[in-house]
């Protein structure tokens, strides 16, 4: 029987509550007898800073490197607004992404049919929506140097961030996007601002070449990022896969996930390159944040984190069958009318975090 090491990093805010539901599912997986998952837990984000003075400890980083996969809850909160920049909660998450070289962030924006009416967009625009946003995650303005604030005297400061992309970084993320499209709707939109940014010019050039040389069977459309932000609202179903840089990916994926009406429901996977054994480092986390305002009240929606665990089973542990069963259970409890507060609708049955976990486990 295959056995895997899974590192759990619940993080801050609602992170620990939603991760607790994943721990129950880990136990369920072990009981199926199809695989053996061994879990370790550690700190990341503000709680790690409180404990170790760093947003992630060296010990936790070592575990993350050696684990077969990492699951993360969420990081951040107003409590840490004033900690030094390089020790802020987000630094833990960014270090994980960078040091594990998780360059491909997959963010599905799907509309759960049961929730189509919860979207701000008209039902007919989002019903059945299924977009995959492929965001570059280890380059761009997030990590480029210089990144600094200089004191110019006389009360003036100068802040600089640097967006950098090299050819190979664009090639590998483009390949991920085209390969995904081949298994989906066969259409890729590549979003950049080539009319203003040199990184956009290179992005456009490299994506065009990878397409021509390796994936000419897939349909490719170039779109300016500002226009993409528009089109995601005008007619979201025109998209299948969207590939874009780190910063545009951050903004566009949040926008798209909100359009689905399913924000508390959406998982994500951050993947590294395949090694010689066909295995890749991976981190799974919900798209939503740490929601400090509702933390500790057992009312957060655990579905995004549970769906992230399903992605982990599928992509990291090759347990697609179990992933299907979990996703089926999620759809079933929604059909049965169970709703956490964030997705509550008239006539449905409002439940808390643990109760949603109960419902999903009994559906299994």
Map residues 61-90 to x or -, x wherever contact with ligand IPM holds by CB under 6 A.
Answer: -----------------------------x
The dihedral formed by the CA atoms of 300, 304, 310 and 316, expressed in degrees to the nearest 10 = -110
* Tokens, residue 250: 């951050």
Closest-approach residue to ligand IPM (CB): 90
User: Which residues contact a second copy by CB under 8 A?
Assistant: 76, 85, 88, 90, 94, 120-122, 125, 141-142, 144, 147-149, 152, 155-168, 193, 195-199, 201-203, 225-227, 229-230, 232-235, 247-248, 250-252, 254-255, 257-259, 263, 289
State yes or no: is 213 an active-site residue.
Answer: no
State yes or no: is 315 an active-site residue.
Answer: no
State yes or no: is 335 an active-site residue.
Answer: no
Q: With contact defined as beta carbons under 8 Å apart, do 34 and 1 qualify?
A: yes
Residue nearer to ligand IPM on the CB measure, 93 or 188: 93
State yes or no: is 318 an active-site residue.
Answer: no
SS3 state of residue 268: strand
* Tokens, residue 122: 């008209």
Map residues 226-245 to x or -, x wherever contact with ligand IPM holds by CB under 6 A.
Answer: x-------------------
State yes or no: is 250 an active-site residue.
Answer: yes
* Sign of the C-alpha dihedral computed for residues 245, 63, 49 and 73 taken in this order: positive
Residue nearer to a second copy on the CB measure, 8 or 223: 223
* Tokens, residue 318: 């090759």
The dihedral formed by the CA atoms of 303, 231, 177 and 213, expressed in degrees to the nearest 10 = 170
Q: Residue 254, annotated ligand binder?
A: yes
| Buried/exposed code over 330-350 (b: 16+ C-beta within 10 A; e: otherwise) | beebbeeebbbebbeeeeeee
DSSP state of 111: -
Residue nearer to ligand IPM on the CB measure, 173 or 363: 173
Q: Residue 68, annotated ligand binder?
A: no
Q: Residue 97, annotated ligand binder?
A: yes
Q: With contact defined as beta carbons under 8 Å apart, do 35 and 312 qualify?
A: no
Residues serving a catalytic function are 142, 193, 226, 250, 254
Annotated binding site for substrate: 97, 107, 135, 226
- What residue ranges bind ligand IPM (CB under 6 A)? 90, 93, 195-196, 226, 250
């Amino acid at each position: 029987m295959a056995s895997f090491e899974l590192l759990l990093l619940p993080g801050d805010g609602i992170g620990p509550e939603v991760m607790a539901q994943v721990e129950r599912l880990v136990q369920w997986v072990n009981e199926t007898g199809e695989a053996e998952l061994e879990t370790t837990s550690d700190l990341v984000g503000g709680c790690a800073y409180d404990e170790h003075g760093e947003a992630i400890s060296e010990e936790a980083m070592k575990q993350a490197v050696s684990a077969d996969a990492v699951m993360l809850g969420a990081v951040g909160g107003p409590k840490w607004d004033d900690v030094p920049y390089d020790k802020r909660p987000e630094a833990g998450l960014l270090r994980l992404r960078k040091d594990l070289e998780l360059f491909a962030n997959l963010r599905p924006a799907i509309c759960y049919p049961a929730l189509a009416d919860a979207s701000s967009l008209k039902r007919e625009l989002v019903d059945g929506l299924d977009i995959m946003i492929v965001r570059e995650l280890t380059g761009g303005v997030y990590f480029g140097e210089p990144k600094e604030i200089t004191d110019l005297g006389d009360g003036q400061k100068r802040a600089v961030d640097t967006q950098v992309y090299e050819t190979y970084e664009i090639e590998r993320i483009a390949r991920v996007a085209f390969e995904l499209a081949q298994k989906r709707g066969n259409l890729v939109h590549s979003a950049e601002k080539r009319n203003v940014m040199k990184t956009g010019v290179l992005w456009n050039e490299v994506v065009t070449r990878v397409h021509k040389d390796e994936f000419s069977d897939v349909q490719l459309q170039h779109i300016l990022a500002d226009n993409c932000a528009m089109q995601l609202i005008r007619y979201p179903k025109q998209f299948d896969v969207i590939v874009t840089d780190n910063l545009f990916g951050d903004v566009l994926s949040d926008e798209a996930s909100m359009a689905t009406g399913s924000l508390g429901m959406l998982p994500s996977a951050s993947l590294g390159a395949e090694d010689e054994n066909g295995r890749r480092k991976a981190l799974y986390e919900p798209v939503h944040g740490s929601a400090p305002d509702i933390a500790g009240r057992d009312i957060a929606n655990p579905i995004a984190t549970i769906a992230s665990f399903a992605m982990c089973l599928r992509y990291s542990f090759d347990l697609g069958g179990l992933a299907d069963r979990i996703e089926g259970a999620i759809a079933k409890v929604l059909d049965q009318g169970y709703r956490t507060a964030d997705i509550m609708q008239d006539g449905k049955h409002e439940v808390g975090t643990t109760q949603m976990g109960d419902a999903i486990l009994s559906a299994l």
